[in-house]
Amino acid sequence: MHKFVIEGGSKLSGSVTPSGNKNEALPALFACLLTDKPVTLKRMSRIGDVLTVCQILNGIGVKTEWLDDETLVMDASKANSHKPDPNLCMKVRASILMLAPLLTRFGKVELALPGGDVIGARRIDTHWEGIEALGGQLSLEKVITGTLKRAVGTEFFLDEPSVTATENLLLMAVRAEGQTILFNAASEPHVGGLCNLFNGMGAKISGIGTNKIIIDGVSELQGTVHTIGPDFMEVGSFLCLGAIGGGKVRVEKVNTDDMRYPLKVLAKLGLNTTSGADWIEIDGTKELKMSKDIGGRVGSVYSGPWPAYPTDLMSVAIVAATQSKGTVIFFEKMFEGRMFFTDNLMRMGANIVLCDPHRIVVTGASQLYSMHMSSPDVRAGMALVMAALVAKGTSEINNIYQIERGYNNIDKKLEALGARIKRTQA
Ligand code: EPU
């Protein structure tokens, strides 16, 4: 077990390059189960969740080979079991994405319920209904068991644009007989990334990046080389950090199109950015002041399915708001457990009112003071690191495996920007 020891108050400046998107990398690993040919994935992050998924896949006969720090070759030609290790599956949410590929490959599946961040109820009904609409038969006792004779394309309306449900249905529909049309599909960049990977493997998917995805099933898929897109959660985290770090931070090799809404939220919190073709810079040397809505009303930031503000970027924006003059309300519409980490910020000196599980009011700017804390989940953990970096004194953050599940070499990247952060034995 490791912890971060962080001495707050250093000026942060310089440039940083984000790793590949965790939430594109995880479904991409499972996509490899649908072909016997090797698939090479570039800009892969060696984060905790990726390593756990590789372990799960190794357990059912899939070969995984790192060619270098960011290139992973997957070979599922000898996959031999429809029953992945339940203990490993219970460690990651993304394990639910094995439902479709194992059914397609073996005609049957036995899968433990998924784990991952404890941030809300996280229903799987949309996955379930969609897979049954495509021909699967599922039942749940202690584990999910299922069978599939033949997947047949259909029109399916998702009752909510769930990211992983859309991905599970893509994983099923690419090799189904005939055409599938997904209505009210998730349109996050990582869903588009999975579609692009599939098309590289010979699938026929259109409507990529929209909420109506059309999949013409093919009988087999080939190997390919695919590059994972930059992690926009990491980009947003570095921009929020740069804004309060007292210097100028440039985030490079980003997809600026992914950042349209996050940049609007940053502007609302008084954080101004400049952008080029594939970089965004934030100037943290100026005093931050939140903007108000017309008529002098208190502004609000609320999360929603893409292209609205991503729920995964709420926690870092909240920390940025504690350092900006003014008042803002944050409304986390998706998960009912994601705001509770703010009690740590309150104890550090932030002026926050937790109205209910979904809404908080932040009034800034507040001086934060160091604290010993524990990371509750991956995004809240990153927010606590940020808070510790601007706090007076030395903070300790335990349970950092939660942060390292999603952020690659985060201590090294922060050190390069001037942060005083040490990773030590807890
Ligand atoms: N929801 C709504 N309204 C909607 C859509 C969803 O309220 O229109 C609710 C759902 O009921 C659910 C929650 O929002 O409680 C999340 O929904 P979704 O099913 O889309 O989440 P997921 O597929 O389980 C993925 C990411 C999460 C990310 C969410 C939302 C992966 C492996 N996980 O989860 O990532 O927060 O989408 O974008 O892709 C993270 O990386 O920290 C993380 C938790």
CATH number at residue 13: 3.65.10.10
Same domain, 242 and 378: yes
Same domain, 207 and 223: yes
- The atom of ligand 1 lying closest to the CA of 117 is 44
Q: Residue 419: is the preceding peptide bond cis (ω within 30°)?
A: no
Cα(362) to ligand 1 centroid in Å equals 24
As annotated, the active-site residues are: 117
Same domain, 252 and 313: yes
**Cβ neighbours for 269, distance < 8 A, ≥ 6 positions apart:** 243, 288, 290, 301, 317, 320, 321, 324, 328
Number of domains in the chain: 2
Phi/psi at 40 (5° precision): -105, 125
**The two three-digit tokens of residue 324, written as one number:** 């900006």
User: What domain range is 163 assigned to?
Assistant: 22-227
Predicted confidence at residue 122, as pLDDT, reads 78
Q: Which residue, by CA, sits nearest to atom 17 of ligand 1?
A: 162
Cβ of 363 closer than 6 Å to ligand 1, yes or no, is no
- Contact indicator for 233, 253 with CB cutoff of 8 Å: no
CA distance 188 to 374: 30
Same domain, 258 and 127: no
Q: In terms of DSSP bridges, do strands 39-42 and 225-227 run parallel, antiparallel, or are they unpaired?
A: parallel
- The atom of ligand 1 lying closest to the CA of 119 is 44
Cβ of 378 closer than 6 Å to ligand 1, yes or no, is yes
Q: Which of 193, 227, 261 is the last residue of a domain?
A: 227
Same domain, 154 and 276: no
Same domain, 271 and 286: yes
- The atom of ligand 1 lying closest to the CA of 26 is 32
Same domain, 33 and 180: yes
Fill in the DSSP letter of residue 160: S
Q: Which residue, by CA, sits nearest to atom 33 of ligand 1?
A: 23
Q: Which residue, by CA, sits nearest to atom 39 of ligand 1?
A: 23
CA distance 268 to 294: 12
Cα(295) to ligand 1 centroid in Å equals 34
CA distance 354 to 363: 12
Mutate to test the pocket of ligand 1, among 92, 99, 164 (most ligand atoms within 8 A of CB): 164
pLDDT in tens, 78-113: 999 999 999 999 999 999 999 999 999 999 999 999
**Cβ neighbours for 142, distance < 8 A, ≥ 6 positions apart:** none
Cβ of 406 closer than 6 Å to ligand 1, yes or no, is yes
Q: In terms of DSSP bridges, do strands 12-16 and 246-252 run parallel, antiparallel, or are they unpaired?
A: parallel
Same domain, 9 and 71: no
Same domain, 253 and 158: no
Q: Which of 173, 197, 227 is the last residue of a domain?
A: 227
- CA atoms within 13 Å, Cβ hemisphere of 163: 23
Q: Which of 196, 227, 258 is the last residue of a domain?
A: 227
Cα(164) to ligand 1 centroid in Å equals 7
Predicted confidence at residue 118, as pLDDT, reads 65
- DSSP result, 336-380: SSTTTTHHHHHHHT-EEEEEETTEEEEEE----B--EEE--SHHH
Identify the three-state secondary structure at position 113: coil
Same domain, 87 and 207: yes
Cβ of 334 closer than 6 Å to ligand 1, yes or no, is yes
Cβ of 159 closer than 6 Å to ligand 1, yes or no, is no
Cβ of 160 closer than 6 Å to ligand 1, yes or no, is yes
- Contact indicator for 143, 114 with CB cutoff of 8 Å: no
Predicted confidence at residue 117, as pLDDT, reads 64
Fill in the DSSP letter of residue 259: G
Closest Cα to residue 301, out of 335, 272, 327?
Answer: 327
Cα(311) to ligand 1 centroid in Å equals 8
Cα(162) to ligand 1 centroid in Å equals 6
Cβ of 311 closer than 6 Å to ligand 1, yes or no, is yes
In one-letter notation, the amino acid at residue 62 is: V
Q: In 232-277, where do the E strands start and end?
A: 246-252, 273-275
CA distance 58 to 54: 6
Cα(308) to ligand 1 centroid in Å equals 13
Same domain, 251 and 173: no
Same domain, 195 and 92: yes
pLDDT tens across the length of the chain (426 residues): 899 999 999 999 999 999 999 999 999 999 999 999 999 999 999 999 999 999 999 999 999 999 999 999 999 999 999 999 999 999 999 999 999 999 999 999 999 998 766 666 678 999 999 999 999 999 998 899 999 999 999 999 999 999 999 999 999 999 999 999 999 999 999 999 999 999 999 999 999 999 999 999 999 999 999 999 999 999 999 999 999 999 999 999 999 999 999 999 999 999 889 999 999 999 999 899 999 999 999 999 999 999 999 999 999 999 999 999 999 999 999 999 999 999 999 999 999 999 999 999 999 999 999 999 999 889 999 999 999 999 999 999 999 999 999 999 999 999 999 999 999 998
